[in-house]
Amino acid sequence: MGSLSIWHWMVVLVIIMVVFGGRGKISSLMGDFAHGIKAFKKGMAEDEKVAETKSEPAKSIDHSAAGGATKPEAERHAS
C-alpha cells in the first residue's frame, strides 16, 4: 500500500503532461511572469517620479512663535 506501482507513475506523468502541455509551455509561463515583474517595477518607478515632482517642503514647528513663555519653566517657579 505504501509504494507506488508503475501504473501510478504513468497516471501522474499523463496528468503532468496534460497540465503543462507540450514543448515550451513552461518557458512561456516563466517569460510571462518576468514581463509581469518588469511592468510592476516600471509602474513603481513612475509612481516615485510623480511623488517627487509633487513633494511639499517639510513642515516644522517654530518654537519661538509659541505664545507665552519666554523664561524656562524652572526660572518661572524660582522667582
| 5-14 confidence digits (pLDDT tens) | 888 999 998 8
Percentage, residues of the chain above pLDDT 90: 15
**What is residue 4's predicted lDDT score, i.e. its pLDDT?**
79
- Decide if pLDDT at 50 tops 90: no
10: closest CA among 18, 20, 2?
18
Measured CA to CA, the distance from residue 50 to residue 12 in angstroms comes to: 51
Q: Do the Cβ atoms of 31 and 37 come closer than 8 Å? A: no
Measured CA to CA, the distance from residue 2 to residue 55 in angstroms comes to: 65
Question: To which residue does cell 501504473 refer?
Answer: 7
**What is residue 61's predicted lDDT score, i.e. its pLDDT?**
77
Domain boundaries, given as residue ranges, for the chain: 24-50
